[in-house]
Amino acid sequence: MREAFKALKAASYRSVFAVLGITLSIFIVVLAANATYISYNTYRRIRADIRLEVFPKGRPQEVVSFLRLLGGVRDVEVVDERRAKEEFRRYYPQLSSLLDRLGDDVFYPMVRVYPKEHWKDVKFLDLLKGEIEAYRGVSGAYYGREWLEAAQNFFNFLLGTNVVVLLTALLINLLLAFYTVRFVVHHRRNLIEILRLAGVSPWGLRYPYVLLSLIYALISWSVVAVVVMLGIRRYPLAEGIRTFNVILLGVLLLLTAAITVMGSLRALSDVEKGLT
């Protein structure tokens, strides 16, 4: 332990740059992973709320019986005039005065159709909408095609971009953690060669630098963990984001520690080969 802190002190400015580099790389990975998670969570909520509004010509129950027979339908719900009016007031409170002037005769019963999960893409919803509108008891069906198609295209692009950024950031993290530790160990090359010639065992040479690499990893990870958890506490941007980050930080701690140790061992191996 004492030798590890001696090495940390001897390479003080190199240690600072090593910790900063590893911290930055971990932080980039965390940002990219959270952007991916938030994008996916938002997209999942949008998909969960996808439905078709079906307007029957006559009795809603007749239309419901027909809709339950369609293969792409998961569930059917009848919305009467009173509930339609309540929902309108809840979602559009700024139009309440207009609603009072129009009266109660502007709302009609409708049927909400919730499609199965694999039917929530626009092309399948178009097929389902066409089948519903072809039925003699239906006057029309609506599901906001233009908005949904734009949202799906946007989130597919965003998810793909975030995954690429995440993989790139993870690669940068691995390279920085590996090579910054090698750089610090190579700075101590002369001392390592003297100790090796003096008969210090291979384990005695490796132990301080393995411990040093773990110190780098722990300091860098701790800085990122504190910043991330404080940020989540203040801005909980998605459901389950705290649990996601706890798991993510745990994986990154193990990964960064393993990579920094590998970097130090590889640098020590290079030094010993040069000595031989």
Tell me if 209 sits within 8 A of 268, measured CB to CB.
Answer: yes
Q: Please give the mean pLDDT across all residues of the chain.
A: 77
Give percent of the chain above pLDDT 90. Answer: 8
Query: Measured on CA atoms in the order 95, 100, 102, 108, is the torsion positive or negative?
Result: positive
Mean pLDDT of 219-233: 91
> What's the angle, vertex CA 268, arms to CA 266 and CA 274, rounded to 5?
105
Give residue limits of the domains in the chain.
Answer: 2-45+152-275, 51-142
pLDDT at 171: 79
Q: Residue 152: pLDDT band by 50, 70, 90 thresholds?
A: confident
Q: Domain 51-142: which CATH class?
A: alpha beta
Give CA separation, 266 vs 152, 185, 210, 232, 270, in Å: 46, 10, 11, 37, 6
pLDDT at 188: 61
Digit-coded pLDDT (tens) for 82-128: 776 776 667 666 666 666 666 656 667 888 899 998 888 888 899 99
Which two structure tokens, joined as six digits, stand for 75?
């569930």
Q: Residue 4: pLDDT band by 50, 70, 90 thresholds?
A: very low
Mean pLDDT of 4-26: 66
The answer on pLDDT for 246 being more than 90 is yes
Strand 138-142 and strand 73-79: the pairing is unpaired
pLDDT at 102: 60
Give CA separation, 28 vs 162, 230, 255, in Å: 12, 16, 15
pTM, rounded to two decimals: 0.67
Distance CA 267, CA 51 (A): 59
The answer on pLDDT for 29 being more than 50 is yes
Distance CA 35, CA 201 (A): 47
Digit-coded pLDDT (tens) for 59-88: 888 888 888 888 888 899 888 777 767 766
The residues, ordered by sequence, that sit 6+ positions from 148 with a Cβ below 8 Å of its Cβ are 46, 50, 122, 125
pLDDT at 72: 86
Taken as a whole, the chain contains a residue count of: 276
The answer on pLDDT for 226 being more than 90 is yes
